[in-house]
Amino acid sequence: MKTVLLVIAVVICAGCGNNLAGPAGTPSLLPPGSLVALSVDSAHVRLSWTAPSVATDSTFAGYVVAWGIVADTLPKSSSGFTAGPLARGATTFQVRSLLKSGQASDAAAITWAPAWRFDAIPVIVTEYNSTQQTGSPGVDIGTATSDPHSVGLLDPGADSTLDFYLSGPAGSPLELVTAALYNPGWHQTLFSTASTSSPDLNASLGAFPQDNTFTLQTVTPADNTIYYVKAVGNTGQINFARIHVHLVPGGAYPSRQVEIRISLQKISRLLYA
C-alpha cells in the first residue's frame, strides 16, 4: 500500500543503529542484498533483491521500498517490486528490511530511470557488402523524437541517422561498427567494454556501465548478448541504449543477419537504459 515518506519515516527512525543486535532474542537486521534494477518501459523500473539472513525469522515482516515521497510496504515473500508510474529522469530507490516490531534496517539504494523498450519486433540487419550496397546493414537506435529502425548506408539521410552497422568483410567474423568508421563525419557511436549474456533484454543490473567505459568503435557480437551503446549525434545529442543481439541461424556470407532489440534512453546524456 502506498504511503508518503513522512509516515514511513517513523518506522525508519525506529531502526536507527539497526545493524547491531537488538534486545535478547532479536536478530541482527541487515538490508536486502544484491539490489538490481531494470528499465521495464518508459514509466516503470523493476527492482530485485535477495533476502537478508533474518528473513527466515518469525520476527521478520517484509520490506519497505521508497522513492521520492512515496513508499510501499511488501510482504516477506517479496524479492522484487515494479515502481511506477515514474516521472522521466533518474530516480533513487531505497529498500529496507522490516521487522514486525516496526524496526527497519539501513537502506540498500540504487539509482535508475525508465527507458523506452523496442523488443516486441526486432530490428533485422544484414551484413554490409561493399560490392553490393543494398539492403539494410545499419541501425538508428533512435532519439528523443524518433524510434529505432534499420538504415541502408545509401539511404537518404543515413549521414544523420546511422549509429552503427553490421560488417564482416570477405566472410570474416561479424562486427558491429560505429558509423564514424564508414564516414568520419557520421555519428560517433561507441560501445561499452561491458556486456551481459542474456536470452533477452530482461537482465537486471546493479549499476549501468559508466560513461568512461564507452571506448570501443567495434564489437564482435556474440549470440544472445546485451551490449551497451552511446550514440553521439551530429548535433551533439547523446543517447544511451542497451541492445540485445541474436545471430540469425543458417546465414552465410554475404547474407548473414542479426536481430537487434533495443532499450533506449530518450533523455539526452542520461545513462540508464
Indicate if 78 and 193 belong to the same structural domain: no
Is the same domain home to 100 and 125?
Answer: no
139 and 68 in one domain?
Answer: no
- Total structural domains in the chain? 2
Alpha-carbon gap, residue 251 to 258, rounded angstroms = 9
pLDDT, averaged in runs of 10, over the chain (273 residues): 40 38 59 97 98 93 96 96 96 97 96 97 92 80 94 92 95 96 95 98 97 98 98 88 97 92 97 95
124 and 258 Cβ atoms separated by less than 8 Å: yes
Domain end (from 97, 112, 127) = 112
User: Reading across the β-sheet that carries 138-140, which strands appear in turn?
Assistant: 149-151, 138-140, 164-167, 175-178, 218-219
CA distances from 158 to 57, 199, 216 (A): 60, 30, 21
In a domain, 163, yes or no: yes
- Predicted confidence at residue 1, as pLDDT, reads 44
Claim to verify: residue 63 and residue 128 sit in the same structural domain: no
DSSP lists the bridge partners of residue 138 as 151, 165
270 vs 266: CA distance, rounded Å: 8
Q: Are residues 8 and 21 in the same domain?
A: yes
Residue 83 shares a structural domain with residue 161: no
- Shared-domain flag, residues 158 and 247: yes
The pLDDT of residue 11 is 39
Same domain, 178 and 77: no
Range of the domain at 204: 116-264
Pair 99, 150 in one domain: no
Task: Evaluate whether residue 65 is within a structural domain.
Answer: yes
Judge whether 58 lies within some domain: yes
Q: What is the pTM of this model?
A: 0.88
pLDDT of residue 9: 41
Residue 240 lies in a domain: yes
What are residue 12's phi and psi, to 5 degrees?
Answer: -65, -40
**Residues 94 and 170 both lie in one domain:** no
- Cell representation of residue 142: 533512435
Q: Are both 144 and 187 inside the same structural domain?
A: yes
Domain boundary residue among 112, 133, 162?
112
Check if the beta carbon of residue 45 is closer than 8 Å to that of residue 112.
Answer: yes
Q: Report if residue 273 sits inside a domain.
A: no
* pLDDT value of residue 117: 98
- Other Cβ atoms less than 10 A from the Cβ of 123: the count is 23
Return the CATH number at 64: 2.60.40.10
Q: How far apart are CA 199 and CA 152, in angstroms?
A: 27
Last residue of a domain, one of 112, 129, 158: 112
Identify whether residues 42 and 16 lie together within a single domain.
yes
DSSP string spanning the chain? Answer: -EEEHHHHHHHHHTTTTTTS--STTPPP--PPEEEEEEEEETTEEEEEEE--GGGGSTTEEEEEEEETTEEEEEETT--EEEE-S--SS-EEEEEEEEETTS-B-PPEEEEE---EEEEEEEEEEE-B-TTS--S--EEE---SS---EEE-TTSTTHHHH--EEEE-GGGPPPEEEEGGGT-TTS---EEEEEEEE-SSS---BSSPPPGGGEEESEE-PPTTEEEEEEEE-TTS-EEEEEEEEEEPTT--TT--EEEEEEEE--STT----
Classify residue 157: in a domain, yes or no: yes
Q: Is residue 272 domain-resident?
A: no
pLDDT at res. 28: 77
